[in-house]
């Protein structure tokens, strides 16, 4: 096979990794990287792996230890995003009892007011970094409100979350200082939620945390460690990704003014528009799985313990599944993207993310007139697994 010069983590690809993904998908769709991981870029291979129980995380079999990716400290429980069935199934079904669509839907009018006021403020200023003024604080405020993090603590918690999100890339990508900061942020989260859980146990509350403490399934409940790991996971997963969906979608619309016009002319396209942003430029670009049994995949023999990396950004633009995949089409029918996954780990917060995005884009397309980038280039966060602009400074007018 020809030598392939591909490193998905190379910052040179960060702003636009898609031409590199296409080349890889065309020349070596199941590619063994120099680090030994199998990198998959075809939609059909990625979805097959997501649905196949022979691919997982392998924490019980101690296979996770072979990976280069973060593990919690021995004193911390593993968040269930890193667990396989049956442990994953038990915790996920307990959490499903608390994290209900009704609880999410109840927040809708409040989210609408919040995002409208942020967008109004940006318009009034005439120029604003939308990441800092709206796209990061919006989901952070929403997830804090949902979980029950008090207003006075939100800035502190948001800071830890940023550090952890950065640390989601594999460990070989991190300096030792970054790893230490990430582990400190995780410990800070643990300590913080330990106190909040104790307070809710004493006094109760009307929030997700209280429901998570109370959730019971056949007499089983989340242990203290599981609760803490779940809260941190929900907090971090619940907003860094949504920030990127809002930024990536806005950027895509600025670069495709015809699609922005379509949304303005027909806001009924907002739902399919959000799905298209998720497909076109997904916030989570990569997912890792461990192979739990020797097997064959697309003609390759793959050994137990090997690592598989699924490149969602590539699968979502596979021409075998999506017509004209590099084109943004806010009305794209039957959009089967895998931005929220496609197996047992299907995103817990997909409903919340869709609601926030729908309300944010509704506000943007109905309130904003002209909108253009105020900078020549868009700087990206130094992170690929959860990828998006570090800032998005725009000039904008009222409609």
- For position 335 contacting ligand HEM by CB under 6 A, the verdict is no
Q: How far apart are CA 181 and CA 315, in angstroms?
A: 33
Joined together, the tokens standing for residue 371 give 């909108």
Q: How far apart are CA 338 and CA 286, in angstroms?
A: 11
What phi and psi, each to the nearest 5 degrees, are found at residue 18?
-65, -40
Q: Is 383:167 a contact under the CB 8 Å cutoff? A: no
Here's the x/- map for ligand HEM, 247-286, by CB under 6 A: it reads as -----------------------------------xxx--
Q: Which of residues 281-320 bind ligand HEM (CB under 6 A)?
A: 282-284, 287
Select 123 or 226, whichever has its Cβ closest to ligand HEM. Answer: 226
- For position 170 contacting ligand HEM by CB under 6 A, the verdict is no
Q: Is 374:397 a contact under the CB 8 Å cutoff? A: no
Select 107 or 373, whichever has its Cβ closest to ligand HEM. Answer: 107
Here's the x/- map for ligand HEM, 136-155, by CB under 6 A: it reads as -------x------------
Element (H, E) at 389: none
Count the Cβ atoms, other than its own, within 10 Å of residue 286: 21
**Count of residues engaged in binding ligand HEM, rule: CB under 6 A:** 24
Select 340 or 361, whichever has its Cβ closest to ligand HEM. Answer: 340
Select 111 or 234, whichever has its Cβ closest to ligand HEM. Answer: 234
Which residue's beta carbon is nearest to the bound ligand HEM? 349
Q: How far apart are CA 144 and CA 151, in angstroms?
A: 8
Q: How far apart are CA 295 and CA 297, in angstroms?
A: 7
Distances (CA, A) of 287 to 99, 122, 290: 23, 34, 10
Which residue in 190, 169, 187, 191 sits closest to 178, CA to CA?
169
Here's the x/- map for ligand HEM, 38-67, by CB under 6 A: it reads as ------------------------------
Buried b / exposed e along 353-369 (16+ C-beta atoms within 10 A): bbbbbbbbbbbbbebbe
Binding residue for ligand HEM, selected from 77, 98, 215, 234, defined by CB under 6 A: 234
Tell me the closest approach of the beta carbon of residue 2 to ligand HEM, in angstroms: 30
| Window of 157-165, 196-204, 333-341, 375-383 that interacts with ligand HEM by CB under 6 A | 333-341
Tell me the closest approach of the beta carbon of residue 192 to ligand HEM, in angstroms: 17
Tell me the closest approach of the beta carbon of residue 225 to ligand HEM, in angstroms: 16
Here's the x/- map for ligand HEM, 71-90, by CB under 6 A: it reads as ---------xx---------
Q: How far apart are CA 381 and CA 164, in angstroms?
A: 13
Q: How far apart are CA 287 and CA 260, in angstroms?
A: 30
- For position 37 contacting ligand HEM by CB under 6 A, the verdict is no
Contacts of 379 (CB under 8 A, 6+ apart): 389, 390, 391
Q: Is 309:39 a contact under the CB 8 Å cutoff? A: yes
Q: Is 321:43 a contact under the CB 8 Å cutoff? A: yes
| Window of 1-9, 150-158, 219-227, 336-344 that interacts with ligand HEM by CB under 6 A | 336-344
Q: Which of residues 347-366 bind ligand HEM (CB under 6 A)?
A: 347-349, 352-353
Tell me the closest approach of the beta carbon of residue 53 to ligand HEM, in angstroms: 13
Tell me the closest approach of the beta carbon of residue 397 to ligand HEM, in angstroms: 28
Q: Which of residues 204-233 bind ligand HEM (CB under 6 A)?
A: 233
Which residue in 191, 20, 9, 207 sits closest to 104, CA to CA?
207
Select 23 or 76, whichever has its Cβ closest to ligand HEM. Answer: 76
Which burial class, exposed, middle or buried, applies to 30 when counting CB atoms under 10 A from its CB (0-12, 13-18, 19+)?
A: middle
Select 72 or 283, whichever has its Cβ closest to ligand HEM. Answer: 283
Joined together, the tokens standing for residue 122 give 């940006």
Q: Which of residues 88-107 bind ligand HEM (CB under 6 A)?
A: 92
What residue ranges bind ligand HEM (CB under 6 A)? 80-81, 92, 143, 233-234, 237-238, 241-242, 245, 282-284, 287, 339-341, 345, 347-349, 352-353
């Amino acid at each position: 096979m020809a030598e392939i010069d591909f490193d998905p983590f190379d910052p040179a690809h960060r702003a636009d990794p898609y031409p590199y993904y296409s080349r890889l998908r065309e020349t070596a769709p199941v590619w063994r990287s120099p680090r030994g991981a199998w990198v998959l870029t075809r939609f059909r291979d990625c979805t097959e792996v997501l649905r196949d129980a022979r691919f997982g995380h392998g924490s019980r079999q101690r296979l996770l230890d072979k990976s280069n990716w973060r593990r919690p400290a021995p004193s911390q429980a593993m968040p269930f995003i890193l667990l396989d069935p049956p442990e994953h199934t038990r915790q996920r079904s307990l959490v499903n009892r608390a994290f209900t669509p009704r609880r999410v839907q109840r927040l809708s009018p409040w989210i609408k007011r919040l995002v409208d006021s942020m967008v109004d403020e940006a318009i009034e200023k005439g120029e604003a970094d939308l990441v800092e003024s709206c796209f990061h604080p919006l989901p952070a405020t929403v997830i804090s409100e949902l979980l029950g993090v008090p207003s006075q603590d939100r800035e502190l918690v948001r800071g830890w979350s940023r550090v952890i999100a950065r640390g989601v890339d594999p460990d070989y990508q991190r300096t030792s200082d970054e790893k230490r900061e990430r582990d400190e942020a995780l410990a800070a989260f643990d300590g913080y939620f330990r106190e909040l859980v104790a307070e809710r146990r004493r006094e109760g509350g009307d929030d997700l945390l209280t429901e998570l403490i109370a959730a019971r399934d056949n007499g089983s409940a989340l242990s203290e460690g599981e609760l803490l790991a779940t809260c941190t996971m929900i907090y971090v997963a619940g907003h860094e990704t949504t920030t990127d969906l809002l930024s990536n979608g806005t950027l895509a619309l600025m670069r495709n003014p015809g699609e922005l016009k379509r949304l303005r002319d027909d806001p009924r396209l907002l739902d399919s528009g959000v799905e298209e942003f998720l497909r076109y430029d997904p916030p989570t670009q990569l997912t890792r799985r461990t192979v739990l049994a020797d097997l064959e995949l697309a003609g390759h023999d793959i050994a137990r313990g090997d690592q598989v990396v699924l490149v969602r950004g590539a699968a979502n633009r596979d021409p075998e599944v999506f017509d004209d995949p590099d084109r943004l089409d806010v009305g794209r029918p039957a959009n089967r993207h895998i931005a929220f996954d496609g197996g047992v780990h299907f995103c817990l917060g997909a409903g919340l993310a869709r609601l926030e995005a729908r309300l944010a884009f509704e506000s943007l397309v109905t309130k904003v007139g002209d909108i253009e980038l105020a900078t020549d280039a868009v700087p990206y966060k130094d992170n690929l697994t959860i990828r998006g602009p570090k800032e998005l400074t725009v000039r904008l007018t009222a409609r």
